[in-house]
């Protein structure tokens, strides 16, 4: 249990695209938006962890091939760049109008399915998440495997609740900032867009390094 908590914190609480997206989603959906993103994350993570539990050695070799990681990096880079564009566009709309209204400004309002989809995309196409379970998180799978399916279940529940709690907390923060007024919210969108662009740039540069390595 303590090992699970310690290792999980290294991944769940680190800044990244999923965390930034939770803040933005929370501005339009509140705490519920963070829970939906966490659900999308779990939809990918649970089967993935289960598969690693059964095929860890074979899957480790498969995922570590450069071409697989290269494709995943390209997909997530384009997704983050597009999401950043939408946030900057929304931010500029608010600054120009001087008013706050999702309907009047045609902001990127998410529905529940879209929020879950963000969780799925930013998890399933995130090479860093996939390799995290193959490296940092692997001791959790290895240790829990000693106790069979029950051990895996206890480990995963001990892990995933922190994802839900953290993303819900971030979403609540996004909602709180929105309530302060239009300008703080527009500034928040701009800051998060820049953060996502930094993430996209880093992933893009890592991809170029892999190609010319």
Nearby residues of 7 by Cβ (< 8 Å), 6 or more positions away: 136, 137, 139, 140
Mean pLDDT, the chain, rounded, equals 75
Per-residue pLDDT, averaged over 58-85, amounts to 68
Q: Is 184 exposed, middle or buried (0-12, 13-18, 19+ CB in 10 A)?
A: middle
CB 107 within 8 A of CB 185: no
- For the stretch 93-103, pLDDT in tens is 777 775 544 44
The percentage of the chain sitting over the pLDDT mark of 70, rounded to a whole number, equals: 70
CB 26 within 8 A of CB 171: yes
The residue that leads in pLDDT, 146 or 47, is 47
- Is the pLDDT reported for residue 44 higher than 90? yes
Tokens of 147: 């106790």
Q: Note the pLDDT of residue 23.
A: 81
- Is the pLDDT reported for residue 68 higher than 90? no
- Is the pLDDT reported for residue 81 higher than 70? yes
């Amino acid at each position: 249990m303590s090992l699970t908590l310690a290792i999980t914190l290294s991944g769940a609480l680190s800044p990244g695209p999923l965390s930034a997206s939770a803040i933005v989603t929370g501005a339009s959906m509140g705490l519920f938006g963070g829970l939906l993103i966490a659900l999308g994350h779990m939809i990918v993570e649970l089967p993935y962890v289960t598969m690693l539990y059964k095929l860890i050695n074979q899957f480790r070799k498969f995922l570590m091939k450069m071409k697989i990681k290269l494709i995943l990096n390209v997909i997530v880079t384009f997704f983050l760049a597009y999401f950043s564009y939408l946030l900057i566009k929304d931010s500029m709309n608010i600054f120009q109008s001087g008013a706050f209204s999702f309907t009047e400004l045609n902001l990127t309002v998410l529905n529940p399915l879209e929020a879950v989809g963000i969780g799925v995309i930013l998890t399933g196409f995130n090479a860093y998440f996939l390799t995290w379970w193959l490296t940092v998180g692997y001791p959790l799978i290895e240790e829990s495997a000693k106790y069979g399916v029950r051990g895996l279940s206890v480990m995963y529940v001990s892990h995933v609740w922190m994802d839900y709690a953290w993303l819900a907390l971030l979403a609540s923060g996004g909602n709180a900032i929105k309530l302060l007024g239009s300008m703080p919210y527009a500034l928040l969108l701009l800051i998060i867009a820049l953060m996502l662009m930094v993430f996209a740039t880093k992933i893009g540069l890592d991809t170029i390094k892999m190609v010319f390595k």
